C-alpha cells in the first residue's frame, strides 16, 4: 500500500486553492486524498486512483519507453516492493504491473468493500 501512496504523492505538491487556508498543516495522506479525489465526493474511486497512477507513471517514465526503470523511480526502487511488483521479473515496472498493484492495494484498503475509499480507509492503509 505504501508504494501506491508514495507514487501518488509527487515530489512537488502544490495544492494552492484546493485547501482551506485555515488548515496550516495537512498530512501527506490528506494532500494525496484531495489531489486524487477529482470529483470532490470525498471518496476515491478506482478510476480516480488509477488515473493518478497513470499520470504519475508517465511523469516518472522519463525515457518514455513505457516502463519504469529503477533510476526513474528513485528511492522506491531500492525497496522490496519494486521486485514484488515486477511480476515478470524484467527489472522494470510496466504500466500493467503498476495498475495491477494499484488495484490490489485498492481492494486491500477498501475495508468495507463498497468499492471506494474513504479518507479513513486511506489513512488506515497508510499507517500500516
Ligand atoms: Ca471521488
Ligand atoms: Ca522508462
Ligand atoms: Ca470503502
pLDDT score recorded for residue 28: 87
Task: Give yes or no for residue 77 having a pLDDT over 80.
Answer: no
Domain boundaries, the chain: 2-8+26-127
Average pLDDT for 67-71: 91
- Which residues line ion ligand 2, judged by CB < 5 Å? 61, 63, 65, 67, 69
Assign residue 91 a region (left: φ > 0; alpha: ψ between -120 and 50; beta: otherwise): left
Ligand nearest to the CA of 42: 1
Task: Give yes or no for residue 79 having a pLDDT over 80.
Answer: no
Average per-residue pLDDT in the chain?
83
Task: Fold for 2-8+26-127, please state it.
Answer: Recoverin; domain 1 (1.10.238)
Secondary structure of 40-106 as H, E, C letters: CCCEEEHHHHHHHHHHHHHHHCCCCCCEECHHHHHHHHHCHHHHHHCCCCCCCEEHHHHHHHHHHHH
The Cβ of residue 1 has, within 10 Å, a number of other Cβ atoms equal to 18
At a CB cut-off of 8 Å and minimum separation 6, what does 28 contact?
Answer: 5, 9, 126
- Which residues line ion ligand 3, judged by CB < 5 Å? 110, 112, 114
SS3 of 13, please? coil
Task: Give yes or no for residue 11 having a pLDDT over 70.
Answer: no
Cα(12) to centroid(ligand 3), Å: 28
Ligand nearest to the CA of 116: 3
Task: Give yes or no for residue 94 having a pLDDT over 50.
Answer: yes
Cα(48) to centroid(ligand 3), Å: 14
Cα(55) to centroid(ligand 3), Å: 23
Burial class (CB in 10 A: 0-12, 13-18, 19+), 123: middle
Average pLDDT for 14-42: 76
Cα(71) to centroid(ligand 2), Å: 9
Task: Give yes or no for residue 107 having a pLDDT over 60.
Answer: yes
Amino acid at each position: 500500500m505504501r508504494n501506491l501512496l508514495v507514487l501518488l504523492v509527487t515530489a512537488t505538491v502544490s495544492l494552492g486553492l484546493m485547501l482551506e487556508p485555515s488548515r496550516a498543516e495537512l498530512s501527506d495522506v490528506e494532500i494525496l486524498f484531495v489531489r486524487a479525489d477529482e470529483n470532490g465526493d470525498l471518496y476515491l474511486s478506482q478510476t480516480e486512483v488509477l488515473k493518478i497512477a497513470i499520470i504519475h507513471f508517465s511523469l516518472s517514465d522519463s525515457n518514455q519507453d513505457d516502463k519504469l526503470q529503477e533510476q526513474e523511480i528513485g528511492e522506491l526502487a531500492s525497496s522490496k516492493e519494486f521486485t514484488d511488483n515486477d511480476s515478470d521479473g524484467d527489472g522494470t515496472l510496466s504500466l500493467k504491473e503498476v495498475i495491477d498493484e494499484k488495484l490490489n492495494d485498492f481492494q486491500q484498503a477498501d475495508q468495507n468493500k463498497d468499492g471506494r475509499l474513504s479518507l479513513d480507509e486511506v489513512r488506515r492503509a497508510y499507517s500500516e
